[in-house]
Amino acid sequence: MTFLSPLGALVALAVVLPLGAYALLELRSRRVSERIGLTLPPLRSRLGIPAALAVVAAFLGIAAAQPVISGTRSHTGRSDAQVYVLFDVSRSMLARSSAGAPDRLQRAKQLALRLRHGVPDVPFGVVSLTDRVLPHLFPTLDPNVYESVVRDAVGIERPPPSGTEDLATDYSSLGDVGTNNFYGAGAAKRVLVIFSDGESKYFDDALLKKDFDKGNVHVLFVHLWGPDEKIYLGRNNVDPGYRPDPQSNQAVQRIAASGGGEVLGEDPGALVSRTKGFLGTGPQTSVREQRTRVSLGPYVALMALLPLGFVLLRRNV
């Protein structure tokens, strides 16, 4: 068990005030009893309330220190390499070839899961993109956590873009992956796998190259796009406001070139092969990662109700 806020336990010192007040009241009662010739109750019976107050303060102090129990699990894998998968979650990723076919984002998720299974010994992280890059999971060797985040946390416009323009995707923010410490300091080989349709606002690929070079990030771009794909609002209703952008292939080529990589199709075998080819081989290490964390603070605070109830009961006797 560990404490997230050890200094929070100092809140228990607040018990000094009620204990001081009780001591003054006890002193006054003793003086009055001596003057009128009464016999005070046994000391043992008079210590119940101050002891209960001290216990209440102790429980609240422990709760304020935020005790937690953490579960960890060891994984064996590469310490010199990390991979991020980046999902374009703009609305255009809803496009698909027919009303019953999987959309672009669904296909991207399946490819990302296949990639993780094909490269099991390298930590994987997850980010999303609309008009900004948002990390959902920092690189981990735990496949269950990765799959859970990909399946459940990544969704269209989660979060939504900050603007209201029809074309929301902005590749200009991709450089943040290389400059904002997304990768661990010990990861010499860094891969960014982008799953997107390539439909974006204007971006400066020279600036992206500078950012990718600074972070030593190698880019693989998986282009999920088809000239006949549409956004279906219902079984037979098509969004009239969406048109596939035929210039998307040029955009993805520029991004891949800025990251020293290449553009891939929706072939999981080729994706795994290219990723492994860049990562090569490296040292295997055992890494302990936190798997679960249970907060005990609320339960400890509830336990304080027991001695507090005793105080209130004695007060009314």
Helices marked H in the chain — which ranges? 16-36, 43-46, 48-64, 104-118, 143-148, 176-179, 205-215, 248-258, 268-279, 297-303, 305-315
Span 80-282: which CATH code?
3.40.50.410
pLDDT in tens, the chain (317 residues): 788 788 888 888 887 787 787 778 777 777 777 777 766 666 666 677 778 888 888 888 888 888 888 766 677 889 899 999 999 999 999 999 999 999 999 999 999 999 999 999 999 999 999 989 999 999 999 898 999 999 999 999 998 887 666 677 889 999 999 999 999 999 999 999 999 999 988 899 999 999 999 999 999 999 999 999 999 987 778 999 899 998 999 999 999 999 999 999 999 999 999 999 999 998 888 766 656 677 888 888 888 888 878 777 766 55
Provide the CA 235 distance to its chain's centre, in angstroms.
35
Tell me how crowded residue 263 is: count the other CB atoms within 10 A of its CB. Answer: 18
Query: Exposed/middle/buried for 89, CB within 10 Å: 0-12, 13-18, 19+?
Result: buried
CA distance from start to end of the chain: 40
Separation between Cα atoms, residue 34 and residue 204, nearest integer Å:
90
Separation between Cα atoms, residue 65 and residue 59, nearest integer Å:
10
